[in-house]
Amino acid sequence: MSADATSKRTTRRDARRRRSRRYNPDGSMTLIEHVYDFRRRLLYALLVVVAGGAIGFAWFGMSVGPLPALGDVIKGPYCDIPEEARLDTGDGCQLLQTAPFEAFMIQLKVGIAAGMVLTAPLWLYQIWAFLAPGLYQWERKYARVFVCVASLLFALGAALALVIVPLALGVLVGFGGDTFMTALRGQEYISFILALLVIFGISFELPLLIVMLNKVGVVQYEQLKRWRRGIIAALFVFAAFVTPTDPFSMIALACALTGLFELAIQLARMHDRKLERQRVAEGFDGLSDDEAAPFTYTPTSSAGEDPAEQPGPDSSSGGRTDDVT
């Protein structure tokens, strides 16, 4: 084996060790190593999303065991519209394709979206692995909780959207009465469904953001209590702007956000009360701003030795000092 090949293998092994928690507990890297790590993590995340998109693309047209085909799931809200209000093509419930590649692009879009959801733990881990070396241990703990709860809230929001969509479509297509017949284009319908899923999913992250801001001390319970009415009114206005022009989706999103906001307020109240009890137990509660805290602290040297045990400046040099200035 040549010296160049051996050197390359050693370099790659050293790079893997620097990324390993076993050999590099604090995750310290140079700037160029961070750039290389970002490129590697981004490539892995893209490969995972592509693999998930291929699975979602295949799942679109066929059922997997007890799971129905993804296309049937997406088409379900449209098929729930009463038959007398839908265009009867003679072959059951179908969407319209008005361009040669429209069906392929719809299947690709839905497949990638489903693949990102299915493989979310894998590509989220790549993001986490890139950010983790720059976080303290307590920050990593909060980040893990944040990712888990955020994923759960997004899934709950998307599930609520799937429940609301049939009602929303029923209201929207019912305005024309018997004058109009509903025949939705596939591209517009799928974009409508995906947008609603994303809007509901992201909106459900708002209470989690409030809880995290309270954890780090940006907002307190008393502030949230004073702002409650204004925030609830803002939530209804927000729901009216981001949802389609029907009352069901707006009211459902606004009520769900209001309930989650109230839960976030109560969590903030419990957190602030816990901090208050800790301050009282430690004797910090009654202190003024210019009063010293009631604790003792003995500084040590960088080597961890007691300052009293360290030799003075004239213990070994006979009282002489070395003044470089």
173-211 pLDDT tens trace: 777 666 666 777 788 888 888 888 888 888 888 888 888
| Residue, of 279 and 9, whose pLDDT is higher | 279
Q: Which of 84-98, 221-235, 302-316 has the lowest mean pLDDT?
A: 302-316
Burial class (CB in 10 A: 0-12, 13-18, 19+), 204: buried
| Residue, of 152 and 80, whose pLDDT is higher | 152
Percent of the chain at pLDDT exceeding 90: 9
Q: If you ran DSSP here, which 8-state letter would residue 325 be given? A: -
Residue bearing tokens 């019912």: 174
Note the pLDDT tens digit of each residue in 104-151. Answer: 888 888 888 888 888 887 887 888 778 777 777 776 777 778 778 888
Residue 107 in tokens: 């299947």
Q: How far is CA 218 from CA 145, 147, 232, 264, 266, in A?
A: 19, 20, 20, 14, 16
Confidence (pLDDT) at 44 = 92
Check: pTM over 0.75? Answer yes or no: no
CA-CA distance, 76 to 313, in Å (whole number)?
83
Query: What average pLDDT does the chain have?
Result: 76
What is the chain's alpha carbon radius of gyration, rounded to the nearest angstrom? Answer: 30
| Largest interatomic CA distance in the chain | 107
Domain-by-domain residue ranges, the chain?
31-284
Closest CA to 221 of 265, 279, 257: 265
Closest CA to 184 of 175, 192, 195, 176: 192
Buried b or exposed e, range 135-157, using 16+ CB within 10 angstroms: eeeeeeeeeeebbeebbebbeeb
